[in-house]
Amino acid sequence: MSHYYYLIVGSGLFGATFAHLATKKGKKCLVIDKREHLGGNVYCEQIEGINVHKYGAHIFHTSNKEIWDFVNSIVEFNRYTNCPIANYKGKLYNLPFNMNTFYQMWGVHTPEEAKAKIETQKAEVLATLQGKEPQNLEEQALSLVGKDIFEYLIKEYTEKQWGRSCKDLPAFIIKRLPLRFTYDNNYFNDRYQGIPIGGYNKLTEGLLNGIECHTGIDFFNGNLDKNNPTPLCECWRDIASTLVYTGPLDQYFNYSLGRLDWRTVSFKTRIEETPNYQGNAVVNYTSHEQPFTRVIEHKHFEMFGQEVYDCPKTVISEEYSTEYHEGMEPYYPVNDHRNNTLADAYRQLAQQEPNVIFGGRLAQYRYFDMAPIIEEVMNITEM
């Protein structure tokens, strides 16, 4: 088997960007992924002509012009702007909290009126706290935004996300709750945002164009040579000089120090026989009346105006916050004491591994948005 400079385990945004930039520098790369497709969590499945974000809705956003120019050099991005809506017991509110939200909630028209309303409600909370620090998430959120915003838009949504009462959640989870006193529904403050035209698979395909990739190969129990029973994790040094590993950190060390916990989300996806189900890509359900937290209507990420109606059906996904069990998709690291300490111990082991780069969200046990992942790869491959 020919010798590669890099064996890259995982074809998500980290692995694919790494392979792209290293290949440009003349380094021969081999990419493997245990899934049957490339692209990691940004992979989209085509259903009824619509790109369905199979592992959760992904919106690219950055203020870094270099990153934006880079991704647009691979595939042009569209003008999608994330403007989520909250549905609380059938009444709709714009997000993030802004003058539209305050008008919908209280009928106020000016920033002064909105600020006065919020200050009055905050004062009521502070009076009940009698100088004490907020003891839990409920007290913390109430002291930052007052009773109405908390009750309609935060309380039950947060309880669904965490599966616990806001009174039983620690205050530090919410440090700030930004309030915007302008009529601006654009969720991100970043300078650039959008979705690749034609979908995220175009980004993956562009990054991996001309690079040898194999799907359905697990680093821990697979080998490209079907006649070789030794898994790649034991013999990769025979075929490559350096390993770029983007799988789970604890799995690399065979869970020798214990298992890291994750939080996950499960999706119920279905086709609706209408061209336009909810009129927006993202609707948050902020009351306990619905068991799901959000409904995503995928076509609105990429179809605008008449295009929505030219595609006769639509695909929606309900999102449910779910307790993580082995075998589920690991989505978000758990930032508590046990997991932070354990991850640090694994990171120390990782530093001692010769010729192995641990990259991406799983191998670093850190949440990263897509743009910071690309930035990190650019920094590594420039060295």
Ligand X SMILES: Cc1cc2nc3c(=O)[nH]c(=O)nc-3n(C[C@H](O)[C@H](O)[C@H](O)COP(=O)(O)OP(=O)(O)OC[C@H]3O[C@@H](n4cnc5c(N)ncnc54)[C@H](O)[C@@H]3O)c2cc1C
Residues that bind ligand X (CB under 6 A): 9-15, 32-35, 40-42, 56-60, 218-220, 246-247, 265, 331, 360-362, 368-371, 373
Angle at 325 between CA 46 and CA 15, to 5 degrees: 50
Candidate list 176, 273, 326, 382, residue with the active-site label: 176
> What minimum distance in Å lies between the beta carbon of 109 and ligand X?
32
> What minimum distance in Å lies between the beta carbon of 161 and ligand X?
12
45 is written with which tokens?
A: 């499945």
**Cα 275 to Cα 54, 59, 86, distances in angstroms:** 20, 22, 21
- Whichever of 102 and 301 has its CB closer to ligand X, that residue is 301
> What minimum distance in Å lies between the beta carbon of 14 and ligand X?
3
Candidate list 33, 43, 263, 346, residue with the active-site label: 263
> What minimum distance in Å lies between the beta carbon of 156 and ligand X?
20
- How many angstroms separate the CA atoms of 54 and 70, rounded? 24
- Whichever of 114 and 243 has its CB closer to ligand X, that residue is 243
**Active site includes 263?**
yes
- SS3 assignment, position 352: coil
> What minimum distance in Å lies between the beta carbon of 132 and ligand X?
36
Q: What is the gyration radius of the CA atoms in the chain, in angstroms?
A: 23
Candidate list 156, 200, 277, 294, residue with the active-site label: 294
**Active site includes 294?**
yes
- How many angstroms separate the CA atoms of 185 and 61, rounded? 15
Check: CB of residue 83 under 8 Å from CB of residue 77: no
**Active site includes 367?**
yes
> What minimum distance in Å lies between the beta carbon of 92 and ligand X?
22
- Whichever of 40 and 199 has its CB closer to ligand X, that residue is 40
- Whichever of 27 and 366 has its CB closer to ligand X, that residue is 366
Candidate list 180, 192, 361, 365, residue with the active-site label: 180
- Whichever of 11 and 314 has its CB closer to ligand X, that residue is 11
- Whichever of 121 and 364 has its CB closer to ligand X, that residue is 364
**Cα 212 to Cα 12, 105, 207, 234, 258, distances in angstroms:** 15, 55, 12, 21, 34
Nearest-10 Cα torsion for 147, 148, 151, 155: -70
> What minimum distance in Å lies between the beta carbon of 356 and ligand X?
14
- How many angstroms separate the CA atoms of 178 and 181, rounded? 10
- How many angstroms separate the CA atoms of 250 and 117, rounded? 49
- Whichever of 33 and 156 has its CB closer to ligand X, that residue is 33
Q: What are the start-end ranges of the E strands in the chain?
A: 4-9, 29-33, 44-47, 50-53, 60-62, 85-88, 91-94, 192-194, 212-215, 240-245, 262-272, 282-285, 294-297, 314-322, 332-333, 356-358
**Active site includes 157?**
no
Count of C-beta atoms within a 10 Å radius of residue 352: 7
Candidate list 148, 184, 369, 376, residue with the active-site label: 369
Q: Which residues pair with 52 in a beta bridge?
A: 45
**Active site includes 319?**
yes
Environment class of 130 (CB within 10 Å of its CB; exposed 0-12, middle 13-18, buried 19+): exposed
Q: Which residues pair with 284 in a beta bridge?
A: 86, 294
- Whichever of 100 and 364 has its CB closer to ligand X, that residue is 364
Query: What is the residue whose two structure tokens read 């076509």?
Result: 299
**Active site includes 338?**
no
> What minimum distance in Å lies between the beta carbon of 144 and ligand X?
24
* Phi, psi (rounded to 5 degrees) for 268: -115, 110
Give the catalytic positions in this structure.
176, 180, 263, 294, 319, 367, 369
